[in-house]
Structure 1
Amino acid sequence: MISKKTKYALKALYHLAGQPTSQPVLISDLAKAGNIPKKFLEFILLSLRKGGILQSRIGKGGGYYLASPPAKITLGSVVRILEGDLAPVQCLSETNYAKCDECDDEATCGIRLVMVDVNKALAQVLDSLTLADMLERSETERSKRANVLDFSI
């Protein structure tokens, strides 16, 4: 399960992805749009900036904006910046490895062996989905709810 920090980050990034390219948005506007506590959001945005997802501009007309187009920012990269690696068990972690206390032999551990597949599947899905995909899916669902037919080819 992702943390509230990552959920808030995705909400803020979703909002930024809907803005014109390189147009900074104030933290207060992002906090209001996503109903996110401002101080918590400041910490999240700083982490995303350090991770290369966001850029910022100070002064008049300043704020945060996406460092790359939404189609280039994967959900996997966002989750890894905020949560660490995606390993479902610590013995699979590349950044925070620890041997499980209850495990006698990692090479034959059934839990570890099946969690390898879970880890690969999760990474594959998150690394193939982008902010643009998130925007598109949301818009598609909004259109369905509004009973709007899309005749584009």
Structure 2
Amino acid sequence: MLSQKTRYAIRAMQHLADCYGQQTVPLSEIAAKQNIPPKFLTVILSELTRFGIVESQRGKAGGYRLSIPPVDITYGDLIRVMRGSLALVPCASRHAHECCKNCVEEHECRTRALMLQVRDRTAELLDGVRLSDPIALEPSFAPAEEAGT
């Protein structure tokens, strides 16, 4: 699962993408419209600024904006910046690879083999969707008791 920090970062970046080409966006606007705690958002935007994806402007007309066009930012990029990897297990990570503790040898591990496939398909999907792309909304899931499960 994505961390709360990563989900907030994605929503903040979607908001900035929607405002791309306009004035800077105040932190308070992003926080209010995306339901993100302002102090946490400050940390997230600072991190995204260090990675060069967002730029900030101080002062009365201050705020944040994307430093590169939304068409040049994929969801895979965002998740990698915030999480470090798309892999669900450390042994399937390309850039943060670690052997799993209490596991069989990697070359014998079917779980790792499956997770490598999951990582690659996830990367293919997330790297194919850009921040500028429209995303169709899906209906909410019915509560478990209503769905009969």
Query: Which TM-score band (shorter chain)?
Result: 0.7 to 0.9
| Matching of residues 49-128 of structure 1 within 5 Å | 49-128=49-128
CA distance in 1, matches of 2:124, 2:46: 26
Cα deviation, residue 20, structure 1: 4.2
Q: Give the TM-score normalised by structure 2.
A: 0.84
Q: Which segment drifts farther, 69-78 or 91-100?
A: 91-100
Unaligned runs of 5+ in 2: 139-149
Give % identity.
41
Q: Which amino acid aligns with 2:126?
A: L
Unaligned runs of 5+ in 1: 143-153
CA distance in 2, matches of 1:25, 1:129: 24
What is aligned with 1:21?
A: 21
SS at structure 2 position matched to 1:64: strand
Matching of residue 48 in structure 1 with residue 48 in structure 2: yes
CA contact (8 A) 1:22 1:66 kept: no
What is aligned with 2:135?
A: 137
Is the helix fraction higher in 1 or 2? 1
Runs of 4+ in 1 over 4 A off after TM superposition: none
What count of residue pairs does the alignment treat as equivalent? 138
CA contact (8 A) 1:16 1:66 kept: yes
CA distance in 1, matches of 2:16, 2:56: 12
What is aligned with 1:12?
A: 12
